[in-house]
Structure 1
Amino acid sequence: MTREPAPAQGGVDDVVLCDDHPIFADALAMVLTARGVTVREVVLAASDVLPAVRRHRPRVCVIDRHLGPDDGLDLIAGIVAAGTGTQVLVLSGDRDPTTAHCAVEAGAAGFVSKTAGVAALVDAVRAVLGGSDVVDVLPVPRTPGDAEAHRLAAHLTPRERECLELIVDGLGTRAITERLGVSAATVRTYVQSVLTKLGVHSRLEAASFAVRHDLLRHAR
């Protein structure tokens, strides 16, 4: 089911929004529009997402994790493979780390919980439009594993620690290269070294690990 498609024009602030809750979708679209984001189309069903992406070629496609009987995560690969350059931001009603990990591994540029509030959702959309990766990660109380985490983090070089800070801030590879003044290949080397030294398998896990164990503030 599709509602009120806008003419396809293409632009740096264009989004397509997919959520099976019409009231929420309309409210988010209204707020995004007020913040200067062009919402090209709001779709309510998973089957309408790819056609809308191909039609409008938006900078970002915002999709709900739960789309009736369908899983929004199953749409990510198709959107990425569509060749439109569209980035995917996944919304979810919870902050399940496993879901966030799966979304990022599938190719999403971001994951944010609806419980974070409308302002946070809009900020997340804006961040992805700006080329950043966004992961809604909550700090949790310190645990007995903190000592081991700090021991692992002590092996990071200053540059690797800078890279980790930028990952936690949600920056993607291109933004990190600009911030550090190095090549993309060098950034990938830093990232892989950070993952290896911390014993994690993705940027999402590295960011979560750093926040959970308060690694960055501990180092300052």
Structure 2
Amino acid sequence: MEPIRVLIVDDHALFAEALAARLGREPDLVILPIAADVRRALALAATERPRVLVLDMTLGAENGLDVLDRIREEHPDVRVVVLTAMSDLDAMVRAVRRGAVGWLEKTESAELVARVIRSAARQGGWIPPDALGEVLRRLTRDGGEPSGALLAELTPREREVLQCMVDGLGRAEIAERLGLSANTVRTHTQNLLAKLGLHSALEAITLAMRAGMRPGG
């Protein structure tokens, strides 16, 4: 596969440089120059074409959400993974609602960070398992109840894949349940995300739950 281009946005130079050095040992990751502020992050996103942006929530006097908003507006194909010292559920929900596809605390291992980056690059995402249920509950509660018209645009197979996602299955598990190849599941996932105008599995699960889909449905 094509190497994943990764942009780290963090104003803590020592941490950012150590993370870049560690991730740089992964053969499938290309680590771009580090950005310490919003201006530099946007400039590098425009010139270096990252696939995944690893974002701290605090950048000196600036808020990481400002970077998230601008990236989603100017570079919608860039996948944003938050890597922060914060463990605030409200901040986590705000970040996901504004387009982040992953949330990690800085106490996590570099191995997990690398895995989440790979997942994000492949249209996946990651929320801490102990917070996922509450994050989805808040997103569903705050988002209101949609008509379900968007889901009507999906093919029966895409709806099956979406139901498996709501059930908490990964790509390999979905493939096994539906008797499909992993590549076919990936294609169906990409197609349903495109039809729904979404960027991550987490967003798709949230929309599906708002429309009435439930685990085991």
Both proteins in one fold, TM over 0.5: yes
8 A Cα contact 2:171 2:186, kept in partner:
no
8 A Cα contact 2:103 2:127, kept in partner:
yes
Shift of 1:178: 2.2
| Residues 49-198 of structure 1 aligned to structure 2 (within 5 Å) | 49-83=41-75, 85-138=77-130, 159=160, 161-166=163-168, 178=185, 181=188, 184=192, 191=205, 192-197=207-212
* SS at structure 2 position matched to 1:51: helix
* TM value normalised by structure 2: 0.64
* SS at structure 2 position matched to 1:35: coil
Q: Select the residue among 39, 43, 46 that pairs with 2:38.
A: 46
Relative to structure 1, the CA distance from residue 84 to residue 101 in structure 2 (aligned partners, 3 Å threshold; closer, same or farther) is closer
Relative to structure 1, the CA distance from residue 60 to residue 197 in structure 2 (aligned partners, 3 Å threshold; closer, same or farther) is same
Relative to structure 1, the CA distance from residue 170 to residue 177 in structure 2 (aligned partners, 3 Å threshold; closer, same or farther) is closer
Shift of 1:176: 11
Q: Select the residue among 4, 14, 39 that pairs with 1:23.
A: 14
Shift of 1:194: 2.4
* TM value normalised by structure 1: 0.64
8 A Cα contact 1:40 1:56, kept in partner:
yes
* SS at structure 2 position matched to 1:112: strand
Shift of 1:120: 1.8
Q: Does 1:32 align with 2:53?
A: no
Relative to structure 1, the CA distance from residue 163 to residue 123 in structure 2 (aligned partners, 3 Å threshold; closer, same or farther) is closer
> Match for residue 143 of structure 1?
none
Relative to structure 1, the CA distance from residue 78 to residue 176 in structure 2 (aligned partners, 3 Å threshold; closer, same or farther) is farther
* SS at structure 1 position matched to 2:75: coil
Higher Cα Rg, which structure: 1
Shift of 1:163: 2.6
8 A Cα contact 2:89 2:131, kept in partner:
no
C-alpha separation between the residues in 1 aligned to 2:48 and 2:171? 26
Gaps of 5+ in 2: 133-158, 173-181, 197-203
Shift of 1:180: 9.3
| Per-residue deviation, residues 18-64 of structure 1 (Å, max 9, x unmatched) | 11111110111111110121111112222211001001011111110
C-alpha separation between the residues in 2 aligned to 1:99 and 1:51? 25
State the aligned residue count. 170
